[in-house]
Amino acid sequence: MMKTNIPNSLFIRNRANLMARLPEKSVAVFTANEPMPRNGDQFYPFRQQSDFFYLTGIDAENAFLILSPNNPTEQYREVLFIEPYDEVKATWQGEMMDNKQAKEISGIETVKSSDEFYAVLNDIALTGCDTIFMNTYEYPKYECNVETIQHRFVKKIKELYPLHQFGRTAPILNELRMIKSKEEFDITQDACNITAKAFRRCLETVKPNRYEYQIQAEIEYIFKLNNASGHAYAPIVAGGKNGCCLHYSKNDDILNDGDLLLFDIGCEYKNYSSDLSRTIPINGKFTERQKECYSAVLRVMKEITKLYKVGGTINEINQTTYRLMEQEMIKLGLFTAEDVAKQDPDHPLYRKYLMHGMSHHIGLDVHDSVDKYKPFQPGMILTCEPGIYIREEGIGIRIENDLLITEGEPVNLFEGLPIEIEEIEAAMNK
């Protein structure tokens, strides 16, 4: 990743917030991610584990963090361990971070070599420490069949200290990460601005007979040109019926005159995500039927945007959307009010045309730390993304904005980006 230059005040505050919630006689330990091997001497692009980045700003492998807030030895309260200098590695892979740089990035005074991690931990764990807090990625819908470095790390620490108690940092970090600081909001806004630029370029360059991957190339060009590290998630550039496939990511089809094109794209900038969906006519002009369907989704989006306020919940947004979209679907002739009256409540008819939830938090992860039941508070950033997917007509529509919860109206991070039918058509026919 490119250098983030995020002020270390963010990471200092993040650590302080976590440490304030750790009990007496405890220590918390964290490991950085490791590179994922690909083949030969190749690795997939490195991405730091999000909690490790949140607490340190360090974007490198082979690093550890110890937080021991009440330790009588002051230098042990926060200790960062980084990979020791290796001449061969520096020759092949480039400059390595030194202790001074690590201290500047993280704001941690005590920086040591990662070779010393287990010795320092031993000193802390066996001196007045009862509980070792460890971190795993806890996300309700996440299933991982790969044994990650976090899993191996947890196993090893538990083997080393079988008679200690153990705690989980994930619930605390989930809670903290849901509320974005001013610095995090500003970075997310920058990420959204880059994604917005990429979408504007698409409005000018989408034409019948181009390929989805060629439009993806336009997006990637704008992302990199504007200092984003890449995509925050697999981009969806889906023409016609492909737009009805919720996680379509092949992006290898031709764009047909008369079809819609659904984008779900977002850059990652300084490790923070943006998440945008828009749907446009490939030839620059919506058909009457496409207009009807698009207007239905946009109307509902405007209505549910009002629910992004203090005290609101994701569940309330979902239920309201389903109720409103059901009415819109009746108007679109997809089923009748009589059909709805007779439907099996466990399998409502709208589900055929709208199968997903309408909102998630974004942040260091595109589906960010979450307690989905938690009422909204100022500082949360969530998506608003209703859609309709009519497979029999080859019409897939999703519209998605990212919204900051405030004490008043939500702030749309994609404010001013074409969303109305007339705005989209005007931008495509300049």
| Residue positions annotated with a catalytic role | 41, 247, 264, 275, 356, 360, 367, 385, 389, 398, 400
403, 413 Cβ separation under 8 angstroms: yes
103, 116 Cβ separation under 8 angstroms: no
Instruction: Give least dist CB 275 to ligand GLY, A.
Output: 5
Binding status of residue 321 toward Mn ion by CB under 5 A: no
Residue whose CB is less far from ligand GLY, 112 or 278: 278
Instruction: Give least dist CB 254 to ligand GLY, A.
Output: 23
**Sign for the pseudo-dihedral over CA of 170, 175, 176, 178:** positive
The C-alpha angle with vertex 233 and arms to 231 and 236, in degrees rounded to 5, equals: 95
Instruction: Give least dist CB 314 to Mn ion, A.
Output: 12
Cα separation, 430 vs 427, in Å, equals 6
Size of the site for Mn ion (CB under 5 A): 5
Residue whose CB is less far from Mn ion, 71 or 277: 277
Residue whose CB is less far from ligand GLY, 189 or 277: 277
- Partner whose footprint covers residue 321, from ligand GLY, Mn ion, none (CB < 5 to 8 Å by kind): none
Residue whose CB is less far from Mn ion, 285 or 367: 367
| 390: DSSP letter | E
Binding status of residue 268 toward Mn ion by CB under 5 A: no
Q: How far is CA 45 from the centre of its chain?
A: 17
Instruction: Give least dist CB 308 to ligand GLY, A.
Output: 16
Instruction: Give least dist CB 276 to Mn ion, A.
Output: 7
Instruction: Give least dist CB 264 to ligand GLY, A.
Output: 5
Binding status of residue 275 toward Mn ion by CB under 5 A: yes
Q: Summarize as ranges the residues that interact with ligand GLY (CB under 6 A).
A: 233, 264, 275, 360, 366, 385, 400
Cα separation, 116 vs 98, in Å, equals 15
Binding status of residue 383 toward Mn ion by CB under 5 A: yes
| Of 323, 232, 230, 213, nearest in space to 277 by CA | 232
223, 192 Cβ separation under 8 angstroms: no
Cα separation, 337 vs 353, in Å, equals 16
118, 89 Cβ separation under 8 angstroms: no
Look at phi and psi of residue 333 and say left if phi exceeds 0, alpha if psi is from -120 to 50, else beta: left
| Of 90, 86, 111, 87, nearest in space to 100 by CA | 111
209: Cβ–Cβ under 8 A, 6 or more apart, which residues?
254, 255, 257
Residue whose CB is less far from Mn ion, 184 or 400: 400
Instruction: Give least dist CB 55 to ligand GLY, A.
Output: 25
Residue whose CB is less far from Mn ion, 195 or 277: 277
- Partner whose footprint covers residue 233, from Mn ion, ligand GLY, none (CB < 5 to 8 Å by kind): ligand GLY
92, 78 Cβ separation under 8 angstroms: no
Q: Of these, 264, 268, 326, 368, which contacts Mn ion (CB under 5 A)?
A: 264
Residue whose CB is less far from ligand GLY, 161 or 233: 233
Instruction: Give least dist CB 353 to ligand GLY, A.
Output: 17
Binding status of residue 273 toward Mn ion by CB under 5 A: no
| Of 163, 145, 167, nearest in space to 154 by CA | 167
Checking DSSP bridges between strand 411-412 and strand 401-404, what pairing results, if any?
Answer: antiparallel
Task: Pick the piece of the chain touching Mn ion (CB under 5 A) from 13-21, 47-55, 220-228, 269-277.
Answer: 269-277
Residue nearest to ligand GLY (CB): 264
| 308: DSSP letter | -
Stated as kind and residue range, the H or E segment containing 339 is: helix 337-342
Binding status of residue 368 toward Mn ion by CB under 5 A: no
The C-alpha angle with vertex 32 and arms to 117 and 175, in degrees rounded to 5, equals: 110
**SS3 label, residue 281:** strand
23, 165 Cβ separation under 8 angstroms: no
Give the type of residue at 41: D
Residue whose CB is less far from ligand GLY, 90 or 234: 234
Query: Which residues bind to Mn ion, rule: CB under 5 A?
Result: 264, 275, 277, 383, 400
